[in-house]
Homo-oligomer: A and B are copies of this chain.
């Protein structure tokens, strides 16, 4: 629809050949194609067929970008509680960049070492919208939500074990955030957070 918005395919649960075919077809009408949740084996097959597709292994994304470079719109900040949350955070960051936003990153500032976050609070205040990615206790969005007055998008991750129940624990934490103004997306859904953040960041443009 909108300029800057890539065609998006959910790679998980599809055959590599099927994905390669879909990407080829989409590339005829769109100068940007994004495939999410792609493992190395699928990436190898698609990239062989389409050599200008790039695989980002950390966020497990396949990116085709034939668009002309334009100036990106600043305003999105992606924050993580731990280093293990980085794959989801990068899924969000790369998706948002592909939608013509420039993205700041602030990683590994979880609440168990609150000084790490407080030492960079000025960076929080520069953002127009903040994506907060956290697993385990999922407590970070509540703290950040209280420090800023811009929209906060909370992304629970499946990082953790036992009673994290694959991300259920941080999901519930975030839905019950004692800081108002927090919107929550699905567990590990960096992609969805980025689309929402981009809509907010480009709102009124």
Interface residues of A (CB under 8 A from B): 1-2, 5, 8, 10, 12-14, 37, 81-84, 110-114, 118, 128-129, 136-139, 142-143, 145-147, 149-151, 153, 156, 158-189, 191-192, 195-196, 198-200, 203-204
Contacts and interface: CB of A to CB of B under 8 A. Distances in A.
A173 to B, nearest CB: 5
28 contacts: A10-B84, A12-B161, A81-B178, A111-B111, A112-B142, A112-B145, A136-B176, A136-B178, A137-B139, A139-B178, A149-B199, A160-B176, A161-B187, A161-B189, A162-B175, A163-B187, A165-B172, A169-B175, A169-B176, A171-B175, A175-B184, A175-B186, A177-B192, A182-B192, A183-B183, A183-B184, A200-B203, A204-B204
A8 B149 CA distance: 15
A92 to B, nearest CB: 12
A82 B177 CA distance: 13
B182 A161 contact: no
User: What 7 A-B pairs are tightest by C-beta distance, nearest first?
Assistant: A183-B183, A162-B187, A139-B139, A112-B146, A169-B172, A112-B179, A180-B195
B172 A168 contact: yes
A186 B162 contact: yes
The interface centre, meaning the residue of A12, A143, A173, A189 with most chain B CB atoms within 10 A of its CB, is: A173
A142 B111 contact: yes
